[in-house]
Amino acid sequence: MTDNETGIHCGDGWWLLMKRILAVTTMNNTASLKEALTRIREEHGDIVSITKVYLEKYEDPRVPMDDVAEYIDESDIILVDIRGNERIGRELPGILRDRDKTVISLVWGSNHILSLTSMGKLDLGELVAAAPGRIDSLVRERDLEAILELHGSDEIRDDLKRWFQAMDYYGAGDPDNLMNLILFLLDSYTDLEVPFEDPVEMPPYGSTSPSGDSTGTWSPTGGLQTSTRSSQQLACSSIQGCTSMTRDPWLRNSTVASMEM
């Protein structure tokens, strides 16, 4: 184990490396995500850490993006929620080039953002290149068979369905769905085997939260919106019955406020 890795010692010389997820987003769903990670820690232990990178931090072209490239290198899964023409969205394709990473765009947007999605055998960049004028509508309509026909084979079916499922979890935005999104992705795209539940549809925009609490606004992409600071870095802690050993650069970034759970 290197100095940049986090390991959990579970006895008999066996080490489990904590999985790392990078979320590149403008969404202020930190409260819901924090609760989701807390539940994962309580039920499954210290199996994952998450860093959130906010797009607005990098809008100034004078701000270097070296730390984003470092986070990507250290991540097992990259989640992307980019809806506009932010600088980091323009730079990400170049940063990700030649890096073999699982990248999941959680909202449909411009073709160059959709093209970032790479999950198992699914490479949305290939589909965008094949039909740049059609892919957006096919994704919005969840037209699985038409997308498979466009691809020319059935080999991407499972990963395409997983992508749609990931967007369903994220679109609900509440802690339960975010928790199961994380577990679902860990089970599907890492060597961890963890249980998860299917997405649960939440009330429409502007309704109360599932618990009946009318405080805040319930958003289909952000859950119950609360006033939390937008530059928080998240991680969760240890597996029950094991010893956590942390040598983690994700928790030492001085330019992003951090919150350790």
pLDDT tens-digit readout, 73-132? 999 999 999 888 889 989 999 999 989 999 999 987 788 889 999 999 999 999 999 999
Instruction: Count how many domains the chain has.
Output: 1
User: Which range of residues forms the domain containing residue 50?
Assistant: 9-260
> Is the pLDDT score of 26 beyond 90?
no
Residue 16: band (very low, low, confident or very high) from pLDDT cuts 50, 70, 90: low
Does 1 reside within a domain? no
Does 4 reside within a domain? no
Over its C-alpha atoms, the chain yields an Rg (Å, rounded) of 18
Beta carbons of 5 and 155 less than 8 angstroms apart: no
> Is the pLDDT score of 220 beyond 60?
no
Q: Which one has a higher pLDDT value, 18 or 180?
A: 180
> Is the pLDDT score of 238 beyond 50?
no
**Among candidates 182, 167, 181, which has minimal Cα distance to 235?**
182
What b-and-e string marks burial along 235-255, b requiring 16 or more CB atoms within 10 Å of the CB? bbbbbeebeeebebebeeeee
Residue 201's pLDDT is what? Answer: 87
Question: Averaged over 188-201, what is the pLDDT?
Answer: 95
Does 3 reside within a domain? no
Q: Which one has a higher pLDDT value, 205 or 85?
A: 85
Does 169 reside within a domain? yes
Q: Which one has a higher pLDDT value, 155 or 240?
A: 155
Q: In Å, what is the CA distance from 136 to each residue of 81, 105, 110, 141, 170? A: 16, 13, 8, 9, 18
Residue 80's pLDDT is what? Answer: 94
d(CA 232, CA 30): 7
Percent of the chain whose predicted confidence (pLDDT) is above 70:
70
What are the helix (H) ranges across the chain? 30-44, 66-74, 87-96, 111-114, 124-130, 135-140, 144-151, 157-172, 175-189
Does 59 reside within a domain? yes
Residue type, 185: L
pLDDT tens-digit readout, 140-167? 899 999 999 999 999 999 999 999 999 9
- The number of helix segments (H) and strand segments (E) in the chain equals 9, 13
Residue 27's pLDDT is what? Answer: 64
Residue 212's pLDDT is what? Answer: 44
Q: Which one has a higher pLDDT value, 46 or 3?
A: 46
Does 22 reside within a domain? yes
Does 179 reside within a domain? yes
**Among candidates 228, 216, 221, which has minimal Cα distance to 204?**
221
Does 2 reside within a domain? no
